[in-house]
């Protein structure tokens, strides 16, 4: 009886507090994009004179939905597809149809969607680009034959969704994964790091996640109707509208104002630059003219890492991106595609570059010499020198009359140029427009070259695709031509072996050449620099990274691989010689103990010397000293005088 009365009183108190509340309670789920959308709502309401109470990051979909129904929340951003899943009704992929289907059942619950923001954030299966190209993955259905070899990563909320979640996903597409990793919602973004580190192979992300584009990942199309439309919109209740009738009009400026690219960039600003969701939302609203503020606030220019376009999404490029972001927290860091990464670095278009070791050399009449204007900051992987020819073509690279390479000045062109100087035949180079395997393969196929060179990270998609789709092409075994002075002329190259079980497109083991892939930055100039207007003007040359930054990147890379001896390494990476031993004791306790011992020995020595000086006085009864007998003699003389 008493428990029933207490429960009634609690419900009554909550109801009365909700009725008496004057502030609009804006809530959100835990994800970054939900926090940003909620802050945009809260700031828009405050700009129109409404008092706002924030409960940002309240929980997952079910938690916030129940809070809205209980009256403790007035409005929060929700997605039409998620609302459909909460009702446990059949999937609908058309956005208008989804919204129409929600009107009646939500009205019966006293709930109402306001005008949508204009952005749709769908679930999307994502994998590494190299894996997608190697296994020829396009849609989710193509995962079925190899799912037993793959690991799937999902968030807890996706795993628990009744219709469009994990159980329905694997059942519809017939997927039997080797393992399924489920992480809490607040760690959902960490699935991308697990994917890059190859701890999982496929994950379920959002179409608005910036990591998909930052890391060059491959979204997989959902080739059967499964995920419903996910239009984002404010979800409120009839009770909230009764308390705050101005709510719909106050949020009306947000209708259609946020598209997918905008939301993706806002999320990136939070995740990469370390800005708060409120700060990011305020800047976005100011630029849209929805709230007052500095609409001219410039976007933060990302710290660019130049990388060959074909290497976007590769393991070395992604490893470099993660390491620099870890070493420089709060900075916007992004990969920037550039056909000549070191040229972009020299012209100030990028702060760093990810390049193969060959890019650290330049061609001169005397051969390849090291480029002293750049220095290696860290090793992020290895690049392979693929020598490609037709099946009936030359068995050795030196036997080819024409070799296709990348553009003049590219690493593959430099290597081929050095090889021509140490070859036995009359070798001609045929530079192509880009460094991609497709251009080299096309030159060989049309007879413009008998062989070609491609420098690429291991298992790069365009190389795998060329070897798989062109059965008439093969790799030239390096052991047949990597001999003699060529080894000395190109010291950064070393031998490696590609095997069919780890490299698709091969039918046998092939000996190839490989080199380090490094993060590169500008080196300090060898001479004092002058500005454009004289010795006291600003030096416009790109400055090297500080030793502190270099060491931070080195730590972020984890297990350290030393930069090859043929490359110029940043001074901060050079091992420090051991310090010379000194006589001083670095430990105060040991120094005090030593001092105490010497003091003790000093006191003992002093006491011994003092005792030795007192020994004659102790024997005065046996033998008198001259000084002691003098009074006696004087007394005897005095006695004799008296008797006389």
DSSP string, 541-600: SPPPPPHHHHHHHHHHT-S--PPPTTSPBPGGGSPPPPPPP-SS-S-HHHHHHHHHHHHH
Strands of the sheet containing 179-183, edge to edge, are 179-183, 151-155, 202-206, 123-127, 218-219
pLDDT of residue 581: 55
Q: Is residue 144 in a domain?
A: yes
pLDDT of residue 612: 65
pLDDT of residue 178: 94
Q: Which two tokens stand for residue 433?
A: 């427009």
Same domain, 71 and 138: no
pLDDT of residue 527: 46
Query: Cα-Cα-Cα-Cα dihedral of 629, 632, 633, 635, to 10°?
Result: 160
Tens-digit pLDDT profile for residues 411-458: 999 999 988 877 655 788 999 988 899 999 999 999 999 999 999 998
Same domain, 143 and 89: no
Same domain, 54 and 199: no
* CATH number (domain holding residue 157): 3.40.190.120
Tens-digit pLDDT profile for residues 280-319: 999 899 988 998 765 444 555 678 999 999 898 888 999 9
Q: Is residue 623 in a domain?
A: no
Instruction: Map tokens 């890059």 to a residue.
Output: 196
Q: What whole-number distance in Å separates Cα of residue 640 and Cα of residue 499?
A: 130
Tens-digit pLDDT profile for residues 468-513: 888 889 998 887 777 777 778 888 999 999 988 878 778 889 999 9
Q: Which two tokens stand for residue 78?
A: 């929700």
pLDDT of residue 504: 77
Instruction: Map tokens 């036995």 to a residue.
Output: 424
pLDDT of residue 424: 54
Same domain, 281 and 360: no
Residue-number span of the structural domain to which 191 is assigned:
123-219
Q: How many structural domains comprise the chain?
A: 3
Same domain, 146 and 111: no
If DSSP codes are grouped into helix, strand and coil, which group holds residue 519?
Answer: strand
pLDDT of residue 603: 75
pLDDT of residue 458: 85
Could you say which residues of the chain have pLDDT below 70?
Answer: 1-21, 88-92, 273-274, 293-301, 423-425, 526-542, 575-591, 611-644
Given 549, 573, 597, the domain boundary residue is: 573
Same domain, 449 and 486: yes
Q: Which residues contact 402 (CB under 8 A, 6 or more apart)?
A: 427, 428, 429, 430, 448, 449, 450, 451
Its pTM surpasses 0.75 = no
Q: Is residue 300 in a domain?
A: no
pLDDT of residue 626: 43
Q: Is residue 110 in a domain?
A: yes
Q: Which of 40, 496, 54, 501 is nearest to 234 (CA)?
A: 40
Q: Is residue 483 in a domain?
A: yes
Same domain, 212 and 338: no
pLDDT of residue 607: 74
Q: Is residue 491 in a domain?
A: yes
Same domain, 433 and 554: yes
pLDDT of residue 535: 41
pLDDT of residue 644: 32
Tens-digit pLDDT profile for residues 558-602: 877 899 999 999 998 876 555 555 555 556 666 677 777 777 777
Same domain, 360 and 504: yes
Q: Which of 234, 185, 167 is nearest to 62 (CA)?
A: 185
Same domain, 60 and 149: no
* CATH number (domain holding residue 460): 3.40.190.10
pLDDT of residue 430: 94
pLDDT of residue 608: 73
Instruction: Map tokens 């104002």 to a residue.
Output: 257
Q: Which residues contact 347 (CB under 8 A, 6 or more apart)?
A: none
pLDDT of residue 643: 38
Q: Is residue 615 in a domain?
A: no
Same domain, 211 and 265: no
pLDDT of residue 533: 39
Please spell the DSSP secondary structure of 325-392, one letter per residue: HHHSTTS-EEEEE-SSHHHHHHTTS-SEEEEEGGGGEEEETTEEEE-TTEEEEEEEEEEEEEEEEETT
Same domain, 345 and 438: yes
Instruction: Map tokens 């780890």 to a residue.
Output: 502
> Beta-strand (E) ranges in 105-158?
111-113, 123-127, 151-155
Q: Is residue 128 in a domain?
A: yes
């Amino acid at each position: 009886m008493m428990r029933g009365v207490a429960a009634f009183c609690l419900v009554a108190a909550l109801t009365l507090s909700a009725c008496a509340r004057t502030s609009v309670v804006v809530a959100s789920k835990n994800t970054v994009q939900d926090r940003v959308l909620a802050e945009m709502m809260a700031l828009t309401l405050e700009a129109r004179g409404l008092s706002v109470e924030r409960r940002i990051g309240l929980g997952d979909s079910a938690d916030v939905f129940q809070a809205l129904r209980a009256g403790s929340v007035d409005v929060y951003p929700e997605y039409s597809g998620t609302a459909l899943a909460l009702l446990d009704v059949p999937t609908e992929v058309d956005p208008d149809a989804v919204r129409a289907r929600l009107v009646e059942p939500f009205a019966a619950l006293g709930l109402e969607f306001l005008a949508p923001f204009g952005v749709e954030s769908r679930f999307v299966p994502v994998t590494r680009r190299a894996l997608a190209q190697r296994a020829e993955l396009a849609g989710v259905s193509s995962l079925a034959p190899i799912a037993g070899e793959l690991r799937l990563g999902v968030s807890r909320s996706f795993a628990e969704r009744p219709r469009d979640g994990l159980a329905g996903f694997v059942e519809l597409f017939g997927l039997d994964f080797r393992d399924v990793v489920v992480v809490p919602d607040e760690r959902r973004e960490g699935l991308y790091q697990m994917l890059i580190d190859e701890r999982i192979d496929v994950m379920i992300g959002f179409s608005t996640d910036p990591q998909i584009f930052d890391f060059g990942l491959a979204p997989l199309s959902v080739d059967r109707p499964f995920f419903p439309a996910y239009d984002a919109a404010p979800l409120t209740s009839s009770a909230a509208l009764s308390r705050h009738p101005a709510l719909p009009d106050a949020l009306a400026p947000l209708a259609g104002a946020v598209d997918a690219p905008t939301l993706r960039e806002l999320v990136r600003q939070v995740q990469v630059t370390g800005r708060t969701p409120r700060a990011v939302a305020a800047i976005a609203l100011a630029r849209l003219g929805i709230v007052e503020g500095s609409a001219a606030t410039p976007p933060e220019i990302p710290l660019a890492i130049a990388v060959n376009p074909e290497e976007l999404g590769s393991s070395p490029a992604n490893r470099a991106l993660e390491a620099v972001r870890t070493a420089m927290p709060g900075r916007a860091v992004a990969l920037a595609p550039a056909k000549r990464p070191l040229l972009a670095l020299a012209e100030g278009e990028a702060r760093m570059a990810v390049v193969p070791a060959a890019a650290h050399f330049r061609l001169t009449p005397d051969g390849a010499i090291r480029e002293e204007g750049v220095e290696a900051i860290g090793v992020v992987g290895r690049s392979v020198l693929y020598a490609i020819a037709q099946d009936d073509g030359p068995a050795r690279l030196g036997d080819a009359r024409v070799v296709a390479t990348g553009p003049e000045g590219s690493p593959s062109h430099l290597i081929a140029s050095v090889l021509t100087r140490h070859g036995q035949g009359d070798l001609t180079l045929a530079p192509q427009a880009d460094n991609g395997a497709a251009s080299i393969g096309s030159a060989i196929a049309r007879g413009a070259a008998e062989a070609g060179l491609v420098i690429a990270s291991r298992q790069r998609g365009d190389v795998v695709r060329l070897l798989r789709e062109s059965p008439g092409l093969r790799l030239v075994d390096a052991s047949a031509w990597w001999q003699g002075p060529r080894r000395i002329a190109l010291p950064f190259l070393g031998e490696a072996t590609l095997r069919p079980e780890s490299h698709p497109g091969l039918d046998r083991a092939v000996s190839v050449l490989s080199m380090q892939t490094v993060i590169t930055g500008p080196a300090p100039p060898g001479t004092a620099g002058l500005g454009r207007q004289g010795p006291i003007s600003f030096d416009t040359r790109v400055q090297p990274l500080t030793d502190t930054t270099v060491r931070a990147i080195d730590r972020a890379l984890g297990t350290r691989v030393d930069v090859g001896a043929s490359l110029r390494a940043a001074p901060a990476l050079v091992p420090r010689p051991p310090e010379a031993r000194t006589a001083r004791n670095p430990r105060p306790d040991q120094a005090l103990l030593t001092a105490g011992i010497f003091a003790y020995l000093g006191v003992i020595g002093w006491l011994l010397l003092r005792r030795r000086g007192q020994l004659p006085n102790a024997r005065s009864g046996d033998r008198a000293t001259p000084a002691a007998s003098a009074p006696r003699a004087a007394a005897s003389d005095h006695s004799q005088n008296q008797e006389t």
